[in-house]
Structure 1
């Protein structure tokens, strides 16, 4: 109980309460005439107090305009006034149109902070108890008053909780979108930038001995830079919503053949596609392409003295498997994502495979080189957690 009371007391105000809009003015414009009509034409109202009751009700109508932005002051004004009114009238103001005051405690519990809700609730309950003590309310009226207060509290709390869940879901969607953008930046633009850096280093190394190879490297750098710039512009247009982004179809398994390269400098990249590759969902095909792209980039970056990179994709009735191997020198374990600032390749690869219910493992070969092995279910059925990667997988290459 103590924890419950503490949580209520520490409850912050609901964010972004709506300011006065046309609906609020329309509500006031509807309630005020109803109060006037009832005060003037209701036959059972005492003539001696009719004018006073009408004046009090009309004076409280504007509280509706500030009920969300200033809920506690409006509740205090309204229920203090209606609590004092019976002392002057000798009875409760029996205007049916005065039911508009029920919107004030609802707004208090919907938009107010914990201390405001406690103080406002005490004011309302105090008014009910005072009227009962003065004999202006019978037992049935008191029970009805408490029931109405509880109903307002329950309804307001329900909408408040739903709004909080919606905001939380929106924040989670934004976080997932940021993660997707980060992964796309890493898988696309970072791939091109890495290729440019590798080609530039190789071009510098052979510039004097083989000028033609250096020129070829410059051509590759120009092509990679053009593609990276185009992809960056597409992402920026999509983010800014300035204009519809020209979204090309997501790359799939057939596009893996484009990773093949036999041009010097750099290791030869051989691609082999086997099995039934038709009918594979686009999510699986794109994931396989991105994983192959990342693995090739990592091999070019980290495999020392590698002369060959083999990319093999095999599909059967139940799964799609990717294997990327190089013949780099054996030696110390290559850099890992968690230990090298700014490198998250293997982390993203493992997450991407896990989101589709698959696994991603990376580690050294028994003799020499490095292998990345990925297995995805052909249907791409997602699971609640990332795929389980072996020990080598968490220590694999990271781009």
Structure 2
């Protein structure tokens, strides 16, 4: 119980409180006019010269009901209760009833937790004093309290709904950030790694092999051009300048592009790609995920597997699942074995989970490193 009270007490005020507008001024003006007309025409209003200023003052508090709900509800309800006790009996008034509805709603809709707790005391005490002082019948008192409670519940419901929308939006932003991080890593980072590998190979063989530096520079130029192309595609996808071209503005390689991975080898270990039968009708999402995971696994092998001579990429499928296996015969780097998973391994696991599958990576007994992914054939996203 104490934990619940603390959570309510420290609840922050609702964000994006609407600013006071001409509609608020018009509402107050109309209610003040109604209060003046009703207070002037009715003959059973005692102490008319006191009641009218009190009612008008209550109406003016509506202008600050969102920005300062607790002070306004204290002034309005406290002033009304004091006038009721001092002048003898509550006076029914259309304008007062409107304020009684709008002020508690604003408190529960936009107020902080502390304001809601303290304001609730005022909301309960004010009408309670009025009921006792006016000696209202049970049915009338119950009806009034029902309307008041309904207004409070409505304000709390709209507050909860707004918070749920904010949480949903935050979750969408988080998912989009994770997706962007994966795509950036799998596209730009992959090409940058390839450029680094080409440069290292060119430096290592430049003195002993004629033309090695030129070959390395040409391959680096190719990878750099691909990097720029995919960067532009990513930027177009993020800007969404032309929604009708969304399907063409983001790079979506598939299984048909797997053979390109063999060109990454250069002077490093040979990359062999083998694709089994029965995968021609895989959904594009599954094909793209398999390509990205294979791409990351091959890049990791080129960068981290010491003394490797061969990297094997194989994809098989049956009626329900499709399997990816990437294995090298090198010695895994110490950091790659004992360190925390890098962003590439995390991205591969996330891609598999999003499609309802699994991805595992680890050293083989004795020598080598293997990445294994199993995805549902239909690629049903969770």
TM-score by length of 2: 0.88
Contact 1:267/1:308 (CA < 8 Å) preserved in 2? yes
Q: Distance in 2 between matches of 1:358 and 1:144?
A: 57
Which of the numbers 35, 44, 47 marks the counterpart of 1:46?
44
Change (3 A) 1:97 1:337: farther
Contact 1:260/1:268 (CA < 8 Å) preserved in 2? yes
Change (3 A) 1:348 1:300: same
Q: Distance in 1 between matches of 2:77 and 2:12?
A: 23
Equivalences for 1:178-327 in 2 at 5 Å?
178-239=177-238, 247-261=249-263, 264-327=266-329
Q: Distance in 1 between matches of 2:63 and 2:147?
A: 22
Q: Distance in 2 between matches of 1:122 and 1:356?
A: 52
Partner of 2:165: 166
Count of residue pairs the alignment pairs up: 378
Question: Displacement of 1:75 after TM fit?
Answer: 0.4
Higher helix share: 2
Partner of 2:92: 94
Which of the numbers 79, 82, 90 marks the counterpart of 2:80?
82
Which of the numbers 66, 70, 86 marks the counterpart of 1:68?
66
Q: Distance in 2 between matches of 1:171 and 1:109?
A: 23
Equivalences for 1:348-387 in 2 at 5 Å?
348-365=347-364, 368-382=367-381
Partner of 1:388: none
Q: Distance in 2 between matches of 1:273 and 1:119?
A: 69
Contact 2:57/2:76 (CA < 8 Å) preserved in 1? no
Change (3 A) 1:65 1:152: same
Question: Displacement of 1:357 after TM fit?
Answer: 1.9
Contact 2:304/2:332 (CA < 8 Å) preserved in 1? no
Question: Displacement of 1:230 after TM fit?
Answer: 3.1
Partner of 1:386: none
Q: Distance in 1 between matches of 2:45 and 2:167?
A: 55
Change (3 A) 1:303 1:80: same
1:108 aligns with 2:110: no
Question: 1:284-339 deviations in whole A, cap 9, x for unaligned?
Answer: 111001011101101111222333322222233222222222233xx466533872
Q: Distance in 1 between matches of 2:185 and 2:338?
A: 15
Contact 2:337/2:362 (CA < 8 Å) preserved in 1? no
Q: Distance in 1 between matches of 2:83 and 2:265?
A: 93
Structure 1 gap ranges (5+): 384-399
Higher deviation after alignment, 120-129 or 138-147: 138-147
Change (3 A) 1:332 1:132: closer
TM-score by length of 1: 0.84
Partner of 1:35: 35
Contact 1:283/1:380 (CA < 8 Å) preserved in 2? yes
Question: 1:192-244 deviations in whole A, cap 9, x for unaligned?
Answer: 11111111110000111124122111111122122223333443454466787
Contact 1:202/1:217 (CA < 8 Å) preserved in 2? yes
Q: Distance in 1 between matches of 2:310 and 2:142?
A: 84
Partner of 1:6: 6
1:24 aligns with 2:4: no
